[in-house]
Structure 1
Amino acid sequence: MSFLTVLPLAVVMVAGPQFLSAVFLATSRDWRRNSALFVSGAAVSISAVVALTYLLGGVSAVGGEGSNGPLSTVVVVLIVAAMISTFLGRAESEPPKWMGKLERASPRFSFRLGFLLLGVFPTDIVTSVAVGSYLAANDLPLVDAAPFVALTLLLLALPSLAVALLGARAETLLPRVRDWMHDSAWVVNEVVLAFFLVLVLT
């Protein structure tokens, strides 16, 4: 998968409460450990979903009339469902109540949050399943998903990297990024999902 394909997929993975959580954790008391465990949990769940989908996709492609048919249909349905869900939820302006706990998050909570947000959040499931299905349908090795996983994790780590590199200046920058992401997340999701829908159909 090319960088131009991987970049929008990685963006849609983190657009929303995923990146907001990373920002909150980067400003928490034990930010280094919490951020590292948050990204680690995300790495485990993303890799697991992609790998499982890849293995199941490879099995379902065997003996079929074409490796792209059934898989592409499933992926298209999932993407359209995610687009509808994102649009219907666009008016939700309040962040989840659990975000208020992130400033005092424990290491265990941070890991679990990363695992769940990137593993069971609807748009993330759709994206990871789409990546695994795409690789399976095109007889590409599973290792080709590595750039997608790595870039997603890098985006999640940006808030903590900003704190490490910018210090006090990050305290001014991160709230602005957080507010923009909160206000624009649904638009970003829709654009990227539409892009991937076109990619699957062509």
Structure 2
Amino acid sequence: MNFLVILPLVFVMIGGPQILSAIFLATSEDWRRNSAAFVFGASLSISLVVTLAYYLGSGVRQGGSNQMLQLLMLVVLLAAMVHVYLQREQSEPPTWMGKLETANPTFSFRLGFLLMGFFPTDVLTSITVGTYLASHGDPVWHAAGFVLLTLLFLAVPSLSLVMIGDRAETLLPKVRTWMNTHSWLVSELVILIFVVITITNIVG
């Protein structure tokens, strides 16, 4: 997969509670170990889903049935955009995020594994990558760029603490607060990216 295809998929992977969790963990007490455990858990689950999708989709070839699936996906995504907009005043972060400031490495690892491997948009994105590679006859290792770029974005909050120190400690809580209060906008952006990708696949 080329870089222009990978990049929007990576933003779909991290948009919403995923990057917000990374920011919360970067501002937790044991942030170094928590952030490392979160990214490690994410690396395992993303790789697992992509690989399974690749081998299960090895017999899939593009055709009329695939285009119908893409059209159905587009309808579902547009309906999701409308739903998120209508519920914007009630939009709140998940209740489990309250535990992140006091998280430990075990919890962080489990969160990274489950959130990046089983969150609906992440599952759909990882499956898209795996089946795309399989249907085009590309080797599974071509997904490495997608996985590594996703992990890099997840590591940015903790890496910023290492690189710029005090300034990051001031900036990250502000970013966290903004994302808490504008989570519906983040969700809309993620869905919009998926809509663009789906339309591109249909037209292409």
TM-score, normalization by structure 1: 0.89
Q: Which residue of 1 aligns with 2:171?
A: 173
Distance 1:127 1:72, change over 3 A: farther
Runs of 4+ more than 2 Å apart: 69-87, 175-182
Q: Would the aligned equivalents of 1:163 and 1:170 in 2 still touch at CA under 8 Å?
A: yes
Deviation at 1:27, TM superposition (A): 0.7
Aligned length: 196
Q: Would the aligned equivalents of 1:79 and 1:126 in 2 still touch at CA under 8 Å?
A: no
Distance 1:22 1:109, change over 3 A: same
Q: Would the aligned equivalents of 1:22 and 1:38 in 2 still touch at CA under 8 Å?
A: yes
Report the 3-state secondary structure (helix = DSSP H, G, I; strand = E; otherwise coil) of the residue aligned with 1:58. Answer: coil
Distance 1:194 1:82, change over 3 A: closer
Q: Would the aligned equivalents of 1:35 and 1:157 in 2 still touch at CA under 8 Å?
A: yes
Aligned partner letter, 1:54? Y
Question: In 2, distance between residues paired with 1:167 and 1:19?
Answer: 19
Q: Which residue of 2 aligns with 1:190?
A: 191
Unaligned runs of 5+ in 1: 62-66
Q: 2:126 aligns with which of 119, 125, 128?
A: 128
TM-score, normalization by structure 2: 0.88
Q: Would the aligned equivalents of 2:27 and 2:173 in 1 still touch at CA under 8 Å?
A: no
CA RMSD of aligned residues (A): 1.8
Aligned partner letter, 1:147? G
Q: 1:68 aligns with which of 62, 70, 75?
A: 62
Aligned partner letter, 1:52? L
Q: 1:145 aligns with which of 139, 143, 148?
A: 143
Unaligned runs of 5+ in 2: none
Report the 3-state secondary structure (helix = DSSP H, G, I; strand = E; otherwise coil) of the residue aligned with 1:85. Answer: helix
Deviation at 1:145, TM superposition (A): 0.6
Q: Would the aligned equivalents of 1:58 and 1:136 in 2 still touch at CA under 8 Å?
A: yes
Q: 1:85 aligns with which of 80, 102, 107?
A: 80
Q: Which residue of 2 aligns with 1:64?
A: none
Q: Would the aligned equivalents of 1:54 and 1:136 in 2 still touch at CA under 8 Å?
A: yes
Q: Percent identity?
A: 51
In the TM superposition, what whole-angstrom CA distance separates every residue of 1:124-173 from its partner, at most 9, and x where no partner exists? 11111111111111111101111111110000000000111111111221
Deviation at 1:94, TM superposition (A): 1.4
Q: Which residue of 2 aligns with 1:41?
A: 41
